[in-house]
Amino acid sequence: MSDEPLTIRSLAIEVDRSEGLRTGLEHAIRTAIRGGRLMPGSAMPSTRAAATDLGCSRATVVAAFEQLQAEGYLLARQGVATVVADVRSARSPHPSPGPRVETPTIRADFRPGEPDGSSFPRQKWLASTRRVLAKLEDDRLGYPDPRGTAELRAVLADYLARSRALEVGARSVRVTAGFASAIGFVGEALTQMGHESIAVEDPALPITRDVLGLTGLEVVPIPVDRDGLDIAALEASKSRAVVVTPGHQYPLGVVMSPDRRAALVDWADRVDGWIVEDDYDGEFRYDRQPIGSLQGIAPERVIYAGTASKALVPGIRLGWLVAPAAFRRPLDAVRHIRATTSSLEQLAFADLIERGEFERHLRKVRATYRQRRQSLADALHPITGIRVPSEQAGLHLTCALPDSIDEAALIEAAAERGVGLVGLHPHWADPIRPTSSGLVLGFTRPPVHRFDHDLSLLVKTLRDLV
Ligand SMILES: Cc1ncc(COP(=O)(O)O)c(C=O)c1O
């Protein structure tokens, strides 16, 4: 008998006979079911047909099928074909979650937070990875410097000074696994330094509040108006640290006015405090030059946080902090070795920036997103009851809803129609008694070829529901 694996044609699976045909057949079928190649409910060939395919006795196939029935992979019923069982539900080690709730399929995704995945510069990233790997010494594959690789820190310092007007050198840069990781370490460092609370804009990204809360800090919400953070409310809070999004308030979209910026820095000087600047989408400004960072005017008071999640994709988990000298020691103490991110990704990213490919990519997506934002705003304007903001920036557009509209009900009804939306309520510190209702519409998720189609579906849905 040959040692070559045989194929059961009807199943398109390969049977390795090296440990005996019956064992090989069982193994092949188990693997195909676990991997999803044989779907629950699909029929198996008869034992007779399978035996002919394999050139073995029917008894061998019957024995294998019976074993798989006993293990719960196959279901045999009198008079009908043996079928593939649903192993995931039958064999789950977890208790049953109860009746299955059908979640509607999102066809037109206008939830904020993620850029269009199809825009990721795969070829350029691949070329950078290849280039970096080809010349990387073996010892660079050991544990990376927890502060980040020297190459990326240097390249980022240069890029941030040039594009975001930061006052920065490589020594003040720390590479992080995105903002979510960065804000956690900032919170831990503040706790170690004796801070008991931290002020956060209200509304804000819920994750910011959640992560800071997990570090043990009390999170104090501070209102935002059309000029940005309410400084008087900040003064009254007694916190000596605050998180702000001055370039493009998340989620309301306002830019912090020059007066407020000056007052905020003044506050930090007076209370000997810290300002955490979350510059999550600083690269995306469409109507004027990007607004320079707050860090540039107060580098000793501002802990600056940036991310590649909007400019590239969130999946690469790369972000950065620029920390003043006095904050670096406590920060490094809590980050230590557990803060490292893959040195290969860091080096590839450094190469991408150094070669100008990152900024070329940004120019390209900026042009696309600018158009999308305009199309979305134009499409929303005629809908009675929806107020569209004038701020032309970022990857989302937050529009106010009339008081008569139940935000949660609207989102649920839109989901039933396949339209993915996120409301303003979860962004308020008190989502039960939200200050106002609205939609935080992300316009970057639909792939390029589907954008117009998805936008029409959104508009129709809103016309019907608002
Ligand atoms: C306000 C804000 N900050 C930061 C981020 C980025 O977070 P991360 O870098 O963890 O992906 C986002 C992403 O949605 C955001 O909306």
The verdict on the CB of residue 180 being under 6 Å from ligand 1 is yes
Query: Average pLDDT of 58-77?
Result: 86
**Among 308, 303, 201, which residue's Cα sits nearest to residue 251?**
201
Whether 85 is covered by a domain: the verdict is yes
Ligand 1 site, residue 115, Cβ cutoff 6 A = no
pLDDT band at residue 4 under the 50/70/90 scheme: low
CA of 417 to the centre of ligand 1 (A): 28
* Structure tokens, 341: 């991110």
pLDDT of residue 71: 78
Does ligand 1 have an atom closer than 6 angstroms to the CB of 319?
yes
CATH code: domain of residue 44: 1.10.10.10
Whether the CB of 178 sits within 6 Å of ligand 1: yes
Residue 92 pLDDT more than 50? Answer: no
| Total of domains in the chain | 3
Same domain, 135 and 24: no
User: Ligand 1 atom 2: the closest Cα is on which residue?
Assistant: 280
- How is residue 425 written in tokens? 């309520």
Q: Is residue 103 part of a domain?
A: no
Structure tokens at 200: 């956060």
Distance from the alpha carbon of residue 190 to the mean position of ligand 1, in angstroms = 20
Q: What is the mean pLDDT of residues 160-183?
A: 96
Say if residue 95's pLDDT is above 80: no
**245 touches ligand 1 (CB under 6 Å):** yes
**CB neighbours (10 Å) of residue 132?**
21
- If asked whether residues 346 and 455 sit together in one domain, one would say no
Which residues, in sequence order, are CB contacts of 458 under 8 Å at separation 6+?
A: 108, 110, 379, 419, 441
C-beta 322 within 6 A of ligand 1? no
Is the C-beta atom of 398 inside 6 A of ligand 1? no
Task: Give the residue, by CA position, lying nearest to ligand 1 atom 7.
Answer: 179
Type of residue found at 1 = M
Model confidence at 447: pLDDT above 90 = no
**99 falls in which pLDDT band (50, 70, 90)?**
low
Banded pLDDT at 35 (limits 50, 70, 90): confident
Cα(47) to centroid of ligand 1, in Å?
Answer: 56
pLDDT of 86 above 90: no
Which band of pLDDT confidence, cut at 50, 70 and 90, is reported for residue 1?
very low
pLDDT tens for 328-372 read 999 999 988 677 889 999 999 999 999 999 999 999 999 999 999
CATH number for position 179 = 3.40.640.10
Residues contacting 349, CB < 8 A, separation 6+: 128, 152, 308, 316, 318, 358
Give the Å distance between the CA of 360 and the centre of ligand 1.
22
| Higher pLDDT, residue 446 or 289 | 446
Residue 330 lies in a domain: yes
Residue 248 lies in a domain: yes
Q: Are residues 73 and 129 in the same domain?
A: no
Tell me the β-bridge partners of 439. Answer: 399, 423
Domain closes at, from 312, 329, 357: 357
Separation of CA 280 and ligand 1 centre (Å)? 6
Whether ligand 1 lies within 6 angstroms of the CB of 327 is answered as no
Q: What is the mean pLDDT of residues 375-395?
A: 91
State the distance from the centre of ligand 1 to the C-alpha of 212, rounded, in angstroms. Answer: 14
% of the chain at pLDDT higher than 70: 94
Higher pLDDT, 70 or 242: 242
Same domain for 418 and 380? yes
| Same domain flag for 81 and 150 | no
What is the rounded distance in angstroms from the CA atom of residue 428 to the CA atom of residue 74? Answer: 50
> Considering just the CA atoms, what is the radius of gyration of the chain in Å?
28
Confidence of residue 97 (pLDDT cuts 50, 70, 90): low
Amino acid type, 410 = L
Give every CB contact of residue 455 below 8 A, 6+ residues apart in sequence: 108, 375, 376, 379, 446
395 Cα to the center of ligand 1, angstroms: 11
- 249 Cβ inside 6 Å of ligand 1: no
Least confident stretch, 85-94, 156-165, 344-353: 85-94
Q: Is 366 exposed, middle or buried (0-12, 13-18, 19+ CB in 10 A)?
A: middle
User: 250, 316, 318: which to mutate for ligand 1, most atoms within 8 A of CB?
Assistant: 250
Cβ-count burial of 46 within 10 angstroms (0-12 exposed, 13-18 middle, 19+ buried)?
A: middle
Instruction: For the chain, give the secondary structure using H, E and C.
Output: CCCCCEEECCCCEEECCCCCHHHHHHHHHHHHHHCCCCCCCCECCCHHHHHHHHCCCHHHHHHHHHHHHHHCCEECCCCCCCEECCHHHHHCCCCCCCCCCCCCCCCEECCCCCCCHHHCCHHHHHHHHHHHHHHCCHHHHCCCCCCCCHHHHHHHHHHHHHHHCCCCCHHHEEEECHHHHHHHHHHHHHHHCCCCEEEEEECCCHHHHHHHHHCCCEEEEEEEECCEECHHHHHHHCCCEEEECCCCCCCCCCCCCHHHHHHHHHHHHHHCCEEEEECCCCCCECCCCCCCCCCCCCCCCEEEEEECCCCCCHHHCCEEEECCHHHHHHHHHHHHHHHCCCHHHHHHHHHHHHCCHHHHHHHHHHHHHHHHHHHHHHHHCCCCCCECCCCCECCEEEEECCCCCCHHHHHHHHHHCCEECCECHHHCCCCCCCCCCEEEEECCCCCHHHHHHHHHHHHHHHHHHC
- The answer to whether position 102 is within a domain reads no
Nearest CA to ligand 1 atom 3: 280
Sequence letter at residue 361: H
- Pair (380, 394) in one structural domain: yes
Q: Which residue has the higher pLDDT, 167 or 103?
A: 167
Asked if residue 221 has a cis previous peptide bond (ω within 30° of 0), the answer is no
Cα(282)–Cα(285) distance, integer angstroms = 7
Q: What is the torsion angle, in degrees rounded to the nearest 10, for the CA atoms of residue 35, residue 40, residue 45 and residue 51?
A: 40
Find out whether the beta carbon of 280 lies less than 6 Å from any atom of ligand 1: yes
**Rounded distance from Cα 302 to ligand 1 centre (Å):** 18
Q: What's the longest Cα–Cα distance across the chain?
A: 88
In a domain, 160, yes or no: yes
Q: Which of 308, 275, 309 is nearest to 293 (CA)?
A: 275
pLDDT exceeds cutoff 70 at 96: no
Q: Does residue 327 share a domain with residue 409?
A: no
Same domain, 155 and 28: no
Q: Do residues 189 and 135 share a domain?
A: yes
In a domain, 101, yes or no: no
Task: Write phi, then psi, for 392 (nearest 5 degrees).
Answer: -110, 85
CA of 112 to the centre of ligand 1 (A): 10
41 domain-assigned: yes
This prediction has a pTM of 0.79
314 C-beta closer than 6 A to ligand 1: yes
What domain range includes position 288? 121-357
Residue of 179, 276, 278, 341 to test ligand 1 pocket, by largest number of atoms within 8 Å of CB: 179
CA of 184 to the centre of ligand 1 (A): 13
Which of 173, 127, 129 has the alpha carbon at shortest distance from 150?
Answer: 173
Average pLDDT, the chain: 91
Decide if 365 contacts 119 (C-beta within 8 A).
yes
**Ligand 1 atom 4: the closest Cα is on which residue?**
280
pLDDT digits (tens, 9 = 90+) for 229-286: 999 999 999 999 999 999 999 999 999 999 999 999 999 999 999 999 999 999 999 9
Q: What is the rounded CA–CA span in Å between residue 125 and residue 440? A: 31
Yes or no: say if 107 and 418 are a contact pair by the CB < 8 Å rule.
Answer: yes
Cis peptide before 251 (omega within 30 of 0): yes
Q: What integer pLDDT is reported at residue 34 of this predicted model?
A: 81
